[in-house]
Structure 1
Amino acid sequence: MNKENKEQISSYKSAIYSGTFDPITNGHMDIIKRAANIFDEVIIAVAKSERKKPMFSHEKRVQFAKEATKNITGVKVVGFDTLLVDLATSLNITTIIRGLRAVSDFEYELQMGYANSSINKTIETLYLMPTLENAFVSSTIVREIILFKGKFQHLVPKEVIECM
């Protein structure tokens, strides 16, 4: 292996996976576990995202993520209220993880990946797909079910239910 390849590999030891996680779901957990198998360290970055009018407070969403990931080696949770690229740069992370559930996610995620790269050329975006079992799970669906007092417990980690 030449020096250039070693440098490239070493730059991928840490990654950041961001979202509003309102709430964190089994689909998110699927992506987090996959990322933790690839990277030495995965930072779960919980966006404040007040413009999205989240159902749960930022503090609660950070707590949900911490509880849900507490037993996954190498995973840390942080809250943030900046551009993701700026957070990644401040943490010296050059890889952003994004989840793709369906083709409909791809166009938006591709645009975001290009936008992030235009701000910081060293940023790489890695797209991971959840298992088929979790491909339909989204925070939006979970919030709708919660709003109408439906059964949602099978869609979120048990730690989140305990925190609720």
Structure 2
Amino acid sequence: MRRVLYPGTFDPITYGHIDILKHASSLFDEVIVGVFHNPGKVPWFPTETRVALIQEAVRDLNNVRVDSFEGLLVDYYQRESCDAVIRGIRNSQDLLGEMAMAHMNASLLPTIRTIFVPTSAANAFVSSTLVKDVAAHGGDVSHFVPPCVLRALAAKLNG
């Protein structure tokens, strides 16, 4: 069985993330979405909420499991017996950052494999940061996030 890890903060999950997940789920037996707690970021949504939103957003992808982790990606990768890490690429800046992370992970765990998956052109500009910024300023983000995320963003901004 081929198991891959798709790590990220997913604050919140977007259609760009889901695009990558659909590609990965068609290629591998199991995809673990690893919601990472990054102490360097202040997320809008707690980890548990992000996990729940992802679970709802990908409920039709039967081979996708959502989990959360803290600490080093390589440790979680080994604990879950993964065969590769999936990373989404929107543009050249993403590629540069992801290459640096892939090389760092490989220096910590030489057997780790990283697979870069480009997002579709329609999602090439979509990021969680931009979605939050547009939503915070009253813009319509319904084309960028699933309905469950749209509701969570509205609740966050209204409450």
TM-score calculated relative to the size of structure 2: 0.92
1:100 aligns with 2:100: no
Q: CA RMSD in A?
A: 1.2
Match in the other structure for 2:35: 46
Deviating above 3 A after TM superposition, structure 1's stretches of 4 or more consecutive aligned residues are: none
Q: Does 1:150 align with 2:139?
A: yes
Cα contact 2:47–2:68 (8 A) shared by 1? yes
Offset at residue 159 of structure 1 (A): 3.0
2-structure distance, mates of 1:64, 1:160: 6
Tell me if the contact between 1:99 and 1:127 (Cα under 8 Å) persists in the aligned partners.
yes
| CA shift digits 1:64-102 (9 cap, x unpaired) | 111111110200000111111110100011300001100
Report the equivalent of 1:114: 103
Alignment length (residue pairs): 153
Identity rate, percent:
39
Alpha-carbon distance in 2 for matches of 1:49, 1:158 = 25
Opposite residue 64 of structure 1, the aligned amino acid is L
Displacement after TM superposition at 1:51 (Å) = 2.1
- In 1: Cα distance, 2:138 partner to 2:40 partner: 25
Amino acid at match of 1:117: A
Using the alignment, how far apart are the partners of 2:95 and 2:101 within structure 1?
10
Contact 1:67 1:160 in 2 (8 A): no
Could you tell me whether the CA contact under 8 Å between 2:141 and 2:150 is conserved in 1? no
Matches within 5 A, 1:16-27: 16-27=5-16
Q: Which amino acid aligns with 2:57?
A: A
One-letter amino acid of the counterpart of residue 122, structure 1: T
- The residue type equivalent to 1:151 in the other structure is D
Conservation of the 8 A alpha-carbon contact between 1:94 and 1:122: no
Q: Which of 105, 114, 129 matches 1:125?
A: 114
The separation in 2 between residues aligned to 1:94 and 1:123, in whole angstroms, is 7
Spell out the pairing of 1:132-147 with structure 2 (5 A cutoff): 132-147=121-136
TM-score by length of 1: 0.89
Q: What residue in structure 1 maps to residue 156 of structure 2? A: none
CA distance in 2, matches of 1:94, 1:86: 13
Q: Find the counterpart in structure 2 of residue 161 from structure 1.
A: 150
Farther off after superposition, 153-162 or 79-88: 153-162
Question: What secondary structure is seen at the aligned counterpart in 1 of 2:111?
Answer: coil
Structure number with bigger Rg = 1
Q: Specify the alignment match of 1:71 in structure 2.
A: 60
